[in-house]
Amino acid sequence: MSASVTVTNARWFAVRSLYLTCALVGAMGSAQSLIDNAKAEPEDLITTARKLAISGHRAEALKMLDQRLDERRTDSDARVLRGVILSWEGRYDDARRDLEMVLAQHRDHGDALPALINVEMWSDHPERAEALAHDALRRDPTNPDLLLARAKALKAMKRDHEAVDAIQRLLLVDPGNQKAAEMKSDLGDELRKWTASIDHSTEWFSDGRTPWQEAQVQLSRDTAIGSVFARFDRANRFGLTSQMVELDAYPHLRRGTYAYLNVGYSPDATLYPQTRLAADLYQSLGNGLEASGGIRQLHFGGNIRIYTASLTKYYGDWMFTGRTYLTPDVVGTSRSGQFLVRRYLGSSTDYISLRIGYGSAPVEVTSITDTQILNSSSAAVEINHAIGRRFMILGHFGYSYEDRIGISGLRHYLADATAYYRF
């Protein structure tokens, strides 16, 4: 039995090796055949090099083009194709030199100009791409490709109003241009800098106490340095009413780094802290990873400090986040945490999330009732959905099993709904 299996495996590996060898030789032979044909018919060299590059044989294509340019330095078609292939390889400086050489002789070259615009966009120089397109449009003001390229560059530079003007000119020239129509819709979203929202939540408990109610009204504005939010909160619990005013900001500090800042004040300090301060620093780590660390300080007669850290992984349409909260006090440090899984449903605004938490502060502490939790286990589902390009709704449904001051085994239910409007 063992010897038979060994012989069978040996035969299988031999057949598989032969197959792979033949496939490799065939691929090499195909590439060599193209090269030989190009040598036999020099006028087809550019076509052959293009086919090689498209089929993945870029090194062979570049070698052919180098040989052609050694013989004929003024062959603009060969130099443009070489620049394009180099740009595909991410060798932007080399590609730029080739394309600029061609444009120095033919400033409106139909292939070199769009290729150089692509190089500048791909190498994070949209201002250069915009300058190239803008200069060419002076000589050819109705060229749809140049109008679209300039609009893309302006959008990348956050000059959205000018990008809209370029797209509108393009649509006058080519009303059926689908890419222009899609970009116009996207730019319309970019130009809507304000968002207003209203939120209401209700919480029920297994001990029969009167349900808690809370409402929020929020106004936000996208700015050049990040988003800013102003929020008014109002809570009704235990027959008491309390209000709070908050300001949030998410400033961008540099590429891959941004912050979260919060300041809140309650004039009555009945249910909300008299003051709330918060700060987080977020840093991209590459490979879809993002880390953060921060602090919260709430004043309820005395100060409560909470330290927090998180790690997020983006994978395709999925987001995974783990966050911990550490709250020092006179008897030690309490530890809480939460884990979030989010699935994006085709866009950044449509998603469904599952959140699981444990400990004394599995979510953000926002009111005095949150500080009364000794221990809890919780789960919540969130569903966010955009309705058109201006409206969005969020539903949040949660359950937790809690030990609070004076009561154990309390079942806690939450239903929350938020409506957003962009303008």
Distances (CA, A) of 266 to 85, 294, 366: 62, 22, 11
Please say whether the beta carbons of 117 and 125 come within 8 A: no
User: Rounded CA gap, 251 and 228, in Å?
Assistant: 8
43 in Cβ contact with 17 (< 8 Å):
no
Convert the pLDDT of each residue in 84-117 to its tens digit: 999 999 999 999 999 999 999 999 999 999 999 9
Residues in the chain, pLDDT under 70: 1-43
| 8 A C-beta contact, residue 259 and residue 280 | yes
Write out the H or E segment, with its range, that includes residue 371. none
Which residues 6+ apart lie within 8 Å of 90 measured at CB? none
pLDDT of residue 32: 53
Residue of 327, 291, 296 whose CA lies nearest to 309: 291
What is the pLDDT at residue 14? Answer: 39
pLDDT for the residue numbered 19? 41
CA distance 276 to 367: 10
* Torsion over CA: 125, 131, 136, 142 (sign): positive
Q: pLDDT for 167-208, tens place per residue?
A: 999 999 899 999 999 898 888 877 888 999 999 999 999 999
For residue 342, which of 377, 313, 308, 311 has the smallest C-alpha distance? 313
Q: Which amino acid is at 51?
A: K
276 φ, ψ to 5°? Answer: -135, 125
Q: Which of helix, strand or coil describes residue 89? A: coil
Instruction: Give the containing element (helix H, strand E) for 258.
Output: strand 257-265
**pLDDT score, position 27:** 41
Q: For residues 271 and 185, give the distance between their C-alpha atoms in angstroms, rounded to a whole number.
A: 44
Give the other-Cβ count within 10 Å of 36's Cβ: 12
Instruction: Determine contact, residues 35/57, Cβ cutoff 8 Å.
Output: no
Q: List the domains of the chain with CATH numbers.
A: 2-189 (1.25.40.10), 194-422 (2.40.160.40)
Nearest to 201 by CA among 421, 419, 375, 422: 419
Q: What was the pLDDT predicted at 13?
A: 37
* Separation CA 103–CA 226 (nearest Å): 39
What does residue 217 show for φ and ψ, rounded to 5 degrees?
-125, 130
CA 44 to chain centre: 44
CA nearest neighbour of 262 among 198, 308, 196? 308
Residue 29's pLDDT is what?
44
Which segments of 41-125 does DSSP mark as H helices, in order?
A: 45-54, 58-71, 76-88, 92-105, 112-122
